[in-house]
Amino acid sequence: MLTSSEKRDSILRMIAQLRQMAEGLSGKLRGGEDPTELLADPRASLDALLGPIAGVVQRLDSASAAQMVNDPDVLAAWAEVTAAEADAHRAAGDSAAAAALARRALELAVEAHRRSSSDIPELPPLIARLRTQVDAHAPPPGPIG
């Protein structure tokens, strides 16, 4: 049986691996590799990190999912993987999926930032980048009806 410290160490290792995969994914996308194949490992690792609630939280709105996960480091890693997925869909020409995933990644990153008692250095640049992407796809303000 693992101690809580050992469990936390294991989670932090998984998060580090996810971050490396997300960074590697971005580089491979720039190199022209197939986005569909590149997403399999990060998705599987994310499911392992989220554990038995993975199927549920991925269907919830970001605020509810963040409340269930309630770990800013896990949320930040989830946001990074989701942002990488958005990049993959953008590279594949699926701008609608890319925009939806970028919005989800931004929401998760903001939730992680809100819940963090210490600085997660990856979050501010991720949030800034995602805000730019989300704002670029937002409909222009105008009269309704």
Residue ranges of the domains in the chain?
10-51+61-137
CA distance 37 to 28: 11
Over 70: is that where the pLDDT of 140 sits?
no
Label residue 11 exposed, middle or buried (CB < 10 Å: 0-12, 13-18, 19+). Answer: middle
Report pLDDT digits (tens) over 6-53. 777 877 788 787 777 777 776 776 677 776 677 777 788 888 889 999
CA separation for the pair 45, 113 (Å, rounded): 22
pLDDT number for residue 92: 84
- pLDDT tier, 1 (very low <50, low <70, confident <90, very high otherwise): low
Q: Are 120 and 57 within 8 A, CB to CB?
A: no
Neighbouring residues of 19: CB distance < 8 A, sequence distance ≥ 6: 77, 80, 122
